[in-house]
């Protein structure tokens, strides 16, 4: 009997559900759990493994494990595992491949339809990138649907949502937040207004908040660690898992203890639910603000809502339901397993979709650089990465025709080459080719290097209603340079001609987009060159973070200044991007400001977000930082 498959590739977990014979059920992907960690591990032999097997190695070999992969979609910086570079879409393809193979193993046959989910606030840029993921998993163009629509479909199927009823989907997962307004219409659901989301807002950030609290309670012991020491990496990886366990424990208990095992000491830090809620309260307030803006765009009053669906693993935190109910004055609905809602809804929608025209969604072509090997029953499927291409060598001699002896000629006999006619034209042609190649190489070596395109912003953080200036350089003189942005919203500012030096200044850009982390792009319409810079948009009246420079070459230093915090409170400063880390915790002065000078920057090139969080007030603020490769790299 055929079945339909829905897959939820989350930031921290992967879930899958199937629909068959009008029955929808979850598929157990792990050894002991329905969902599995969204982690990929690179073995020493070049095999990529996913799920529980990868999550189990996150502590002992953190440098070979990729986590929070979905958060990095759209970041051109590759993920480094064991010294090897991997694309984000490729690693997401490994996660999808593992989930599909596990489902096929359980069901005994391939699905007839596959439906994948993605955040509702993703723009065209990320959606196009996400469409590459199935190709890496050996699937041909499966259907896509937003996570909010899938969650609403599951709610409608399980609770009989009446025609015309309106629900709000509050999706707080491991890495992102999405707010969407949906209405039951014509047997399905339709999106009202404009969905909003907050990048880098979810359970991962709450884990980091607990880790920062641990550092604060232990008098900055984590800030003093040598991050270059391999033992430190292992200790921090274990602490990460203990912080995750503490967050989950505080959803059911009033307090818990976080064990801290460092290379030179062991200690325990006690944290209460009230202290944890103080750490994340400001973040929850920002999600409610985003939900309110979504309601306004849909022209829906909170009293018109049938319910607010709390979806995603982080929605289980009791503070979320309390604050949402208090702010909107309507009931909230939390599923017993909020991490299952999206996958179940995706399977429900997949069953309603028409059959693929080709009869199968599995590719008959080699789509992936990673070639999957079918695993024996009871084991996880593996993905074997091909070795690097060998050093070019001389072409092998052609094999002799069948029947001709392959042994060497007898001693003293003339070799076959001795009887070949001489070809002087071949020698002359070879010499000519070498001369031409030498001349071309000399031309390349002597040709002046093209300037590297760069995009510089006048500020790393801007408030709604303020203006900033973007300066693009290194483009072809006279060509049109297009300025665009991606983030919680996506758009194009326009295309403007560069001057004779290949520079274009786009000034007085008025910021009107919702708060969040954005990437600003400058693209040469003739040369195809592109450059990007990070920008954080904040609400008015919030705390502020200023960097001495929005772009820093690898190996150089920069400084951070934070303001708008409570006088005397400790302010935690962290960064996230191609690599995540903790800069330190610093006390604010009487004016509620603090600064940290000469921060060493040895992280890989890419777009980063630097965040300052008040540990007493809960206020948070961020700024974008672009780490550039040094010259010669």
Residue percentage of the chain with pLDDT more than 70: 82
Domain 454-628 has CATH 2.40.50.100: no
> What percent of the chain is predicted at pLDDT more than 90?
25
pLDDT value at position 512? 80
- The Cβ of residue 430 has, within 10 Å, a number of other Cβ atoms equal to 10
Confidence of residue 127 (pLDDT cuts 50, 70, 90): confident
Q: What's the rounded mean pLDDT across residues 300-309? A: 91
The pLDDT tens digits of the residues spanning 52-100 come to 889 888 888 888 999 989 988 887 778 889 888 898 999 999 999 999 9
Q: Where are the domains of the chain?
A: 4-201+279-359, 454-628
pLDDT average, residue stretch 550-569: 85
CA 331 to chain centre: 32
Class of 4-201+279-359 in CATH: alpha beta
Print the SS3 string covering 149-198: HHHHHHHHHHHCCCCCCEEEEEEECCCCEEEEEEEEECCEEEEEEEEEEE
Give long-range contacts, CB 8 A cutoff, 24+ apart: 222-231. 222/582, 223/582, 223/583, 223/584, 223/585, 225/262, 227/581, 229/263, 230/63, 231/263
Mean pLDDT over residues 447-469, rounded? 78
Round the average pLDDT of the chain to a whole number and report it. Answer: 79
φ, ψ of residue 289 to 5 degrees: the values are: -65, -40
* Paired tokens of 293: 């803006």
Report the pLDDT value the prediction gives residue 415, as an integer from 0 to 100.
Answer: 37
- Tell me the pLDDT tens digit for each residue of 176-214: 888 889 888 876 778 888 888 787 788 888 998 899 899
Name which of 562, 569, 548 is nearest 612 in CA terms: 562
- What is the pLDDT at residue 229? 83
Q: Which residue has the tokens 């884990």?
A: 207
Cβ proximity of 182 and 154 under 8 Å: no
Summarize the confidence of residues 39-61 as an average pLDDT.
89
- pLDDT tens string 235-246: 988 999 899 999
pLDDT in tens, 129-158: 898 899 888 887 788 988 888 888 888 777
CA geometry: angle 537, 542, 546, nearest 5 deg = 60
* Consecutive H or E run containing 506: strand 504-510
């Amino acid at each position: 009997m055929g079945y339909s498959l829905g897959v939820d590739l989350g930031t921290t977990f992967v879930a899958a559900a199937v629909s068959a014979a009008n029955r929808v059920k979850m598929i157990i992907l792990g050894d002991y759990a329905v969902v599995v960690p969204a982690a990929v591990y690179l073995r020493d032999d070049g095999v990529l493994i996913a799920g529980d097997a990868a999550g189990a190695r996150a502590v002992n070999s953190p440098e070979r494990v990729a986590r929070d992969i979905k958060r990095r979609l759209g970041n051109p910086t590759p993920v480094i595992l064991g010294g090897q570079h991997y694309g984000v879409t490729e690693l997401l393809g490994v996660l999808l491949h593992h989930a599909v193979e596990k489902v096929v193993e359980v069901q005994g046959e391939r699905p007839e339809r596959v439906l994948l989910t993605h955040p509702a606030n993703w723009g065209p840029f990320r959606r196009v990138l996400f469409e590459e993921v199935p190709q890496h998993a050996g699937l041909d163009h499966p259907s896509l649907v937003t996570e909010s629509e899938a969650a609403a479909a599951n709610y409608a199927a399980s609770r009989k949502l009446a025609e015309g009823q309106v629900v709000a989907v509050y999706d707080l997962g491991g890495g992102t937040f999405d707010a969407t307004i949906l209405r039951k219409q014509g047997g399905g659901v339709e999106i009202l207004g404009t969905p909003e989301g907050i990048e880098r807002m979810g359970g991962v950030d709450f884990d980091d908040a607990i880790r920062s609290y641990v550092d604060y309670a232990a008098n900055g012991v984590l800030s003093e660690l040598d991050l270059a020491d391999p033992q430190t990496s292992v200790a921090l990886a274990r602490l990460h898992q203990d912080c995750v366990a503490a967050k989950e424990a505080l959803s059911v208990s009033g307090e818990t203890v976080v064990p801290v095992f460092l290379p030179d000491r062991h200690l325990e830090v006690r944290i209460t639910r009230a202290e944890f809620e103080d750490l994340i309260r400001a973040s929850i307030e920002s999600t409610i603000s985003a939900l309110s803006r979504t309601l306004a765009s849909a022209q829906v009053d909170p009293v018109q809502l049938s319910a607010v669906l709390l979806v995603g693993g982080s929605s289980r935190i009791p503070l979320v339901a309390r604050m949402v109910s208090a702010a909107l004055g309507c009931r909230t609905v939390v599923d017993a397993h909020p991490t299952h809602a999206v996958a179940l809804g995706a399977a429900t929608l997949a069953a309603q979709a028409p059959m693929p025209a080709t009869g199968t969604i599995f590719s008959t072509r080699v789509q992936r650089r990673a070639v999957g090997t079918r695993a024996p029953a009871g084991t996880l499927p593996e993905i074997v990465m091909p070795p690097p291409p060998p050093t070019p060598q001389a072409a092998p001699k052609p094999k002799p025709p069948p029947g001709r002896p392959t042994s060497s000629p007898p001693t003293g006999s003339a070799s076959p080459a001795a009887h070949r006619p001489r070809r002087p034209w071949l020698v002359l042609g070879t010499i000519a080719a070498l001369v031409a190649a030498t001349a071309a190489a000399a031309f390349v070596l002597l040709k002046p290097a093209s300037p590297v395109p760069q995009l510089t912003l006048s500020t790393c953080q801007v408030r709604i209603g303020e203006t900033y200036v973007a300066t693009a350089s290194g483009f072809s003189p006279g060509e049109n340079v297009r300025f665009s942005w991606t983030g919680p919203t996506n758009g194009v500012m326009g295309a403007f001609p560069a001057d004779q030096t290949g520079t274009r200044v786009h000034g007085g850009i008025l910021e009107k987009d919702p708060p969040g982390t954005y990437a600003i792009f400058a693209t040469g319409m003739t040369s195809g060159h592109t450059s990007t810079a990070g920008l954080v948009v904040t609400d008015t009246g919030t705390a502020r973070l200023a960097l001495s420079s929005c772009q820093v070459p690898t190996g150089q230093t920069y400084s951070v200044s934070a303001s708008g915090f409570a006088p005397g409170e400790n302010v935690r400063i962290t960064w996230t991007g191609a690599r995540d880390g903790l800069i330190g915790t610093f006390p604010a002065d009487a004016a509620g400001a603090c600064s940290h000078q000469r921060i060493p920057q040895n992280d890989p090139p890419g777009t980063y977000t630097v965040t300052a969080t008040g540990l007493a007030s809960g206020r948070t603020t961020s700024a974008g930082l672009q780490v550039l490769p040094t010259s010669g790299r």
